[in-house]
């Protein structure tokens, strides 16, 4: 019992270390030491009574757009400064019920709009591997929290790769479950047809355990799926995934363009060779509409964002502008001052594509192409392919401030947005380093086939061993 309380105390004290605060790596934006230790005491008591708690005493960090009762939920935005939710996300409730203890909220791109955690109202987060580089985004704080050793497991959210991309940049595991696998209740909405709560973790096993604990239908989320949740992974499962005999791995040509960083390609080739050595059958496949994924995503996501963020007006949420002449002026001043540049850019794009005369030309057409992207995946999986393997990102982590062109920043998600558009599960895991910077490899699977995906990922993780971090 004492070990659970002591472990939580140590974890929350690490989260409060100035090295990880605003004057350091800027990973952690909120803690509540008293609440965390009190929660640990309850877990220790329940564990001592013999209750089944698969995550007993595991410290969890949580992205700042996932609602918690005991810490603010600000989405790293001035417009929600100081806001504390009156309810808690279902994912958090389920993690707590399994014995996990929330010890910190983590920095992020404002309203999850970014790929570098540089758009936060709290300032940018720095990558623990190299503080001069970005940790990725928008869940950069969560990936960095795991990489820095603050916690072994952290929650993030995914709309277009916002868990997997920072996981790749920080050298940790990042999971996006199937759309509907994990309840979105309590996740502040960005793109409702794309958003999913995901997990950053030190290992595949830890990521799988947290994912399954959170999974299952939720009456508070109509988009949550009523499908069976796989059993929690055990130590015995590791032996069963030591071989990939009978597993077919597809290598989509569109994810290995001539422009792909040569060193990233080399690390991917080594990972493919490792899976072949484990008995996997490697086949070349094509996902022909991949090139359209970025423009499709950056029509659909901003359109949904413009609708979802309309509620942040100074009346229903957040501080409102003072000394204004009328209601319209108050709305204008509140939103202009409350939102950062990237959020305003996406709201404007979304409003434009949904406006009269442009809805059919842009939004409806984008949804049609989205269906083609999903069909590409369905066709490949129907051909007998079990999982797909790709690089997670085109390059390792870039320097803070180095990417100023929005389009160039958007292209950092070129290999991840497709999984969100199609709603399929995907995982990034470390497969090596280039000039000391982590490289991530990505596995994608059929809808609700996380078990297969985790099995292949764990086998690859084991085969690469320490080489995944060298």
Please identify every residue annotated as catalytic.
Answer: 63, 138, 162
What residues are paired with 388 via a beta bridge?
250, 444
* Helix (H), strand (E) at residue 33: helix 33-48
**Helix, strand, or coil here: 433?**
strand
Closest CA to 103 of 41, 11, 169: 11
Please, what is the Cα angle at 184 between 180 and 190, to 5 degrees? 110
Cα–Cα distance, 122 to 22 (Å, whole number): 8
Nearest to 448 by CA among 281, 217, 167, 163: 217
| CA-to-CA separations, 189 to 167, 306, 325, 458, in angstroms, rounded | 21, 11, 31, 31
Helical axes 90-97 vs 204-214, angle rounded to 10°: 110
Residues 6+ apart with CB under 8 A from 113: 119, 138, 190, 305, 342, 343, 346
Strands 281-285 and 387-391: unpaired
| Residue entry with tokens 């969100």 | 420
CA dihedral 255, 256, 257, 262 (to 10 degrees): 140
| Cβ neighbours for 323, distance < 8 A, ≥ 6 positions apart | none
Buried b (16+ CB within 10 A) or exposed e, 140-172: bbbbbbbbbebbbbbbbbbbbbbbbbbbbbbbb
Q: How far apart (Å, rounded) are the C-alpha atoms in residues 454 and 231?
A: 12
Pair of tokens at residue 429: 């895991």
Report yes or no: 409 and 297 within 8 Å, Cβ to Cβ.
no
CB contact at 8 A, 319 and 335: no
Structure tokens at 199: 């997990």
Q: Which two tokens stand for residue 20?
A: 């990880």
The span from the CA of 238 to the CA of 257, in Å, is 34
3-state SS, residue 51: coil
Q: Rounded to 10 degrees, what is the CA torsion of 155, 395, 347, 182?
A: -30
CA distance 417 to 115: 12
């Amino acid at each position: 019992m004492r070990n659970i309380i002591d472990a939580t105390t140590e974890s929350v004290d690490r989260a409060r270390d100035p090295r990880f605060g605003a004057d350091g790596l800027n990973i952690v934006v909120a803690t509540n030491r008293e609440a965390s230790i009190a929660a640990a005491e309850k877990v220790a008591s329940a564990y001592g009574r013999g209750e089944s708690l698969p995550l007993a005493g595991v410290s969890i960090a949580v992205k700042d757009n996932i609602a918690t009762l005991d810490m603010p939920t600000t989405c790293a935005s001035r417009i929600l400064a100081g806001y504390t939710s009156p309810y808690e996300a279902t994912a958090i409730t389920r993690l707590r019920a399994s014995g996990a203890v929330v010890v910190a909220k983590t920095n992020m791109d404002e309203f999850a709009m970014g790929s570098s955690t540089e758009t936060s109202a709290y300032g940018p987060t720095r990558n623990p591997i190299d503080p001069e580089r970005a940790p990725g985004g928008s869940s950069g704080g969560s990936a960095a929290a795991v990489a820095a050793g603050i916690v072994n497991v952290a929650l993030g959210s995914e709309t277009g790769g916002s868990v997997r991309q920072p996981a790749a940049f920080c050298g940790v595991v990042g999971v996006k479950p199937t759309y509907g696998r994990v309840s979105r209740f309590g996740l502040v909405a960005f793109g409702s047809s794309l958003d999913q709560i995901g997990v950053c973790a030190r290992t595949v096993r830890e990521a799988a355990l947290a994912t399954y604990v959170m999974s299952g239908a939720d009456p508070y989320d109509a988009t949550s799926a009523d499908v069976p949740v796989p059993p929690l992974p055990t130590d015995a499962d590791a032996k069963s995934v030591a071989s990939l005999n009978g597993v077919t791995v597809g290598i989509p040509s569109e994810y290995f363009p001539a422009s792909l960083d040569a060193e990233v390609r080399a690390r991917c080739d080594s990972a493919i060779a490792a899976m072949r050595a484990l008995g996997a059958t490697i086949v070349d496949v094509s996902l022909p509409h991949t090139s359209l994924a970025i423009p499709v995503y950056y029509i659909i996501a901003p359109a949904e964002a413009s609708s979802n963020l309309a509620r942040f007006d100074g009346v229903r949420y957040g501080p409102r502008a003072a000394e204004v002449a009328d209601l319209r002026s108050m709305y204008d001043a509140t939103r202009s001052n409350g939102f950062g540049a990237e959020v305003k850019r996406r709201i404007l794009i979304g409003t434009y594509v949904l406006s009269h005369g442009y809805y059919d030309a842009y939004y409806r057409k984008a949804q049609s192409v989205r269906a083609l992207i999903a069909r590409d995946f369905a066709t490949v999986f129907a051909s007998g392919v079990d999982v797909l393997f790709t690089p997670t990102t085109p390059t390792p982590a870039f320097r803070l401030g180095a990417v100023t062109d929005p389009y160039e920043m958007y292209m950092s998600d070129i290999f991840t947005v497709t999984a969100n558009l199609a709603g399929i599960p995907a995982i990034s895991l470390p497969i090596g380093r280039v000039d000391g910077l982590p490289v991530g490899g990505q596995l994608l699977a059929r809808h609700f086939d996380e078990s297969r995906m985790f099995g292949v990922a764990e086998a690859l993780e084991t085969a690469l061993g320490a080489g995944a971090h060298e």
